[in-house]
Structure formats: structure tokens, C-alpha cells
């Protein structure tokens, strides 16, 4: 069964649910699921509505008609079709745990997406990409070649028609121009529970502070390092005799799960970015 998912946001006002659902039902779309959230502090309304694609309207006509309707209510919206799976590029460096996990989830059907390539600034994970039969592109970077290297990344993203870029422990800072060009389409995993312990060696910082929980954060990349809208987080309790290596090992497991959940939410069209926050609708619908 093919499905269509709309994400909608606007200023809160009366009659939104009746009006939006009426638009689709009048065109003979079967509404499979509808979730909504009202931010009463800022008077903002958010909706995710999933439709069975049984109407006689083609995609272009549906979008044109909904665009006209959206203008009457000042709606901001986006749409995704289940017969057009997300194409996801992985940016990696040397750590294999996050990209390997995503590639395995794609292979086993846990992530309904296509990962057509892996890009890295080092050669270390070429064998991993080969194991999953993925093209591997080694684009080394130095202080003097950053612009050229990012240009190479952009060329590959265009060539492979990429929808989403995942920084799967890609230990480079993307330029302001890059993240602006791909705003809302670059997901990063931070090996720490933001906003605490930013920067290098967060687990050593956590050890020095004697923390009792550690965690990981997945967020959209922005020009401000580690400041993008947070998508997913998780934590685990630790004790005083866990050394930095113990914390790093525990952290890797959390990072895998957090990044996978964030990517899954994005490709299932369940996230609306609202300023510095995200609205993440529930899974499995």
C-alpha cells in the first residue's frame, strides 16, 4: 500500500482539523492516521497526516490544489510519498559503529531508505563499505583544501540524488555555507548529552566531573557547532569505577541507537523543525 504523509504547521486557529481533513476526504483520500500538537505558549499548531494513496489525483495536482488551500490558512507544509524512499549519504571518518549500524538496518529493512554511497575523509572504512556493496569515496581534507573537499561532497550528493546527509561520526565541521544549503537535511550524532560536554573527548570530561549518567544526542547540523535542533537523546547510568574507556564503550551503544532513531524519524517524515526545537511525532504510524 502506497501512502502519502503531510507535515503541516501554522498559527493556531479554530477549524484546522475539520478543514484539513475535509480537504483530503473530499478528494477521496482515506486518512490512515492523524497526529496533532498545539504549542500553547507560542500559539502554533502542528499536524502529521498519513493518507492511503487511493485517489485519482496525480501528485502534481494534489500538491497544486493543497498549495492553493494552504494559502487560505497560511499553512507551511511538506509532503512525502512512500513509493519514493529517502536516499541517504553517510559521511564517516574512522569510527565504524554508527555507519555500520545504519547500513545493517538498511540491509535488514529496519530503515526504509536507500544508502547509495559512503563518503569519508579517511580510507579506514573502505572495507566496511565494500562489505555492504556500497561505493566508497575517499575525499581527504586539510586546512587548505576544505572548500575543495566540500565541493567534492556536494557533487556526489547531486550525482546520487541524495535527500538526507548523515554525519555518522564524521569528525569534521561542515562549513556554514554547506549547512545553510542543506538546512534540515543534515543529521549529526554528538557523543555526549548536549548541551553538556561539548567539543573533544566528552567522555573524559564526564569522567573528570564524576557524572552518574552519560548519553548521546542526535540533532540537525547548523552553522553553530552542536547547537542545531535536537531530534533524539538517550542516557545510561554509570558508576564511579567506570573509567573513560568503559564510558566510551557504553556511549557507543547509545550513539548507535540515538542516531538510528533520529534517521528513522526523518525518513518516516515525522519531524517538524520549529525554531531551535523539533516536533517529533510518534513512531509506527
Please give the positions annotated as active site: 226
Other beta carbons within 10 Å of 274: 16
CB 47 within 8 A of CB 34: yes
Residue 163 in grid coordinates: 535527500
> Quick one: CA dihedral 223, 225, 226, 227, positive or negative?
negative
What DSSP string runs through 58-117? -HHHHHHHHHHHHHHHT-EEEEEETTS-EEEEEEE-S--HHHHHHHHHHHTTSS-EEEEE
CB 4 within 8 A of CB 81: yes
Residue 93 in grid coordinates: 571518518
CB 169 within 8 A of CB 189: yes
CB 194 within 8 A of CB 219: yes
Residue 77 in grid coordinates: 507544509
Q: How far is CA 210 from CA 166, 207, 230, 240, 241, in A?
A: 31, 5, 25, 7, 10
By CB atoms closer than 10 A (0-12, 13-18, 19+), residue 40 is exposed
CB 269 within 8 A of CB 7: yes
Number of residues written out for the chain: 285
Q: To which H or E segment does residue 259 belong?
A: helix 244-267
Q: To which H or E segment does residue 16 belong?
A: helix 16-25
Amino acid at each position: 500500500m502506497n501512502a502519502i504523509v503531510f507535515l503541516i504547521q501554522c498559527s493556531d486557529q479554530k477549524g484546522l482539523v475539520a478543514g484539513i481533513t475535509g480537504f483530503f476526504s473530499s478528494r477521496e483520500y482515506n486518512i490512515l492516521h492523524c497526529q496533532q500538537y498545539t504549542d500553547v505558549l507560542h500559539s502554533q499548531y502542528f499536524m502529521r497526516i498519513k493518507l492511503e494513496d487511493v485517489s485519482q489525483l496525480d501528485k502534481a495536482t494534489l500538491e497544486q490544489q493543497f498549495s492553493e488551500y494552504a494559502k487560505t490558512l497560511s499553512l507551511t507544509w511538506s509532503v512525502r510519498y512512500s513509493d519514493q524512499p529517502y536516499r541517504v549519504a553517510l559521511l564517516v571518518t574512522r569510527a565504524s559503529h554508527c555507519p555500520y549500524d545504519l547500513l545493517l538496518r538498511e540491509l535488514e529493512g529496519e530503515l526504509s531508505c536507500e544508502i547509495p554511497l559512503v563518503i569519508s575523509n579517511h580510507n579506514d572504512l573502505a572495507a566496511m563499505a565494500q562489505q555492504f556493496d556500497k561505493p566508497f569515496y575517499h575525499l581527504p581534507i586539510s586546512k587548505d583544501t576544505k572548500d575543495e573537499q566540500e565541493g567534492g561532497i556536494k557533487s556526489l550528493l547531486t550525482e546520487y540524488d541524495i535527500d538526507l546527509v548523515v554525519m555518522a561520526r564524521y569528525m569534521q565541521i561542515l562549513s556554514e555555507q554547506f549547512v545553510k544549503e542543506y538546512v534540515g537535511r543534515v543529521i549529526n550524532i554528538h557523543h555526549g548529552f548536549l548541551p553538556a560536554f561539548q567539543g573533544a573527548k566528552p567522555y573524559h570530561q564526564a569522567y573528570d566531573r564524576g557524572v552518574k549518567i552519560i548519553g548521546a544526542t542526535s540533532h540537525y547540523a547548523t552553522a553553530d557547532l552542536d547547537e542545531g535542533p535536537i531530534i533524539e537523546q538517550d542516557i545510561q547510568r554509570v558508576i564511579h569505577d567506570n573509567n573513560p574507556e568503559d564510558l566510551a564503550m557504553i556511549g557507543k551503544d547509545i550513539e548507535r541507537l540515538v542516531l538510528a532513531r533520529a534517521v528513522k524519524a526523518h525518513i518516516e517524515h515525522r519531524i517538524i523543525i520549529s525554531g531551535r526545537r523539533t516536533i517529533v511525532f510518534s513512531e509506527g504510524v
